[in-house]
Amino acid sequence: MSMFGSMTVTGLAVPAEGAATPVTWHVADEVAVALEYNGRSHAVMMATPEDLEDFAIGFSLSEGIIADAGDVERVMLRDSPLGRVVSLTVDPLRLLRGALRSRSIEGRSGCGLCGVDSLGNAVRDPKRVSARLAVDPAAIAAAFRALPGQQPMNQLNHSVHAAAWCDPSGAIALVREDVGRHNALDKLIGALVRGGTDPAGGFVVLTSRCSFELVQKAAAVGVPLLATLSAPTALALDLARQAGMTLAARAPRDGVVLFQDTPA
């Protein structure tokens, strides 16, 4: 039985001592989601089948397929025996040159670049972020504390990531969840632009480590600050410096580490 991005299953709880007992457990849904542009299949991503319209728009922007959400004329969802299909209709003149590069295999939920057809497509130069946002580290710490209470899907299955958009005070305005951290960010980006919110006006908090593709995606829509529970990789830091973006990570005792932009 499916329930808000989760599947209800039965299991057997086996304690360290004592008798095993039957339990009902919620496990996260993870299905193949095919993205089509003007009838042409581009990528198949493993994702949680919630907020797929947001996902499609966010993915299109963060991967440099379109420059503006308004370039998408229509988004349609349909079921497939193997998963879900999201079909986008875009004016061919609005598709960015070379954006629909081929992907030869599926994108797994833990990977943001599976299937790209060359090493040159794996790590692309990030877009330069023009916005500057002054954020008190206390605001970032407050967002980290508040985020678990705004993850309804994770409260059921305890196994999905979340991406949250926060105003400069640290108040969480919007959250999206998915089994994949990059999918959660794409869903958040899509929800923001579909709702008319400029991503550059706040910062993003993610329940994951900061990998390079998250920096690429956030920079693509002008996010000035990206905060993650775990520290960034060296490549993520390098790309953030190129983009002019600040990275942050949670530190012990409710602290925050800021990785400031250094001119490339």
4 in Cβ contact with 156 (< 8 Å): yes
- Which entry of 111, 114, 166, 210 is annotated as an active-site residue? 111
Strands (E) across the chain are located at 2-3, 6-13, 21-28, 31-37, 40-47, 72-80, 83-90, 161-166, 172-178, 203-206, 225-228, 246-251, 255-259
The DSSP output letter for 105 is S
248/34 Cα distance (integer angstroms): 33
Helix or strand or coil: residue 181? helix
**114 included as an active-site residue:** no
Catalytic site positions: 111
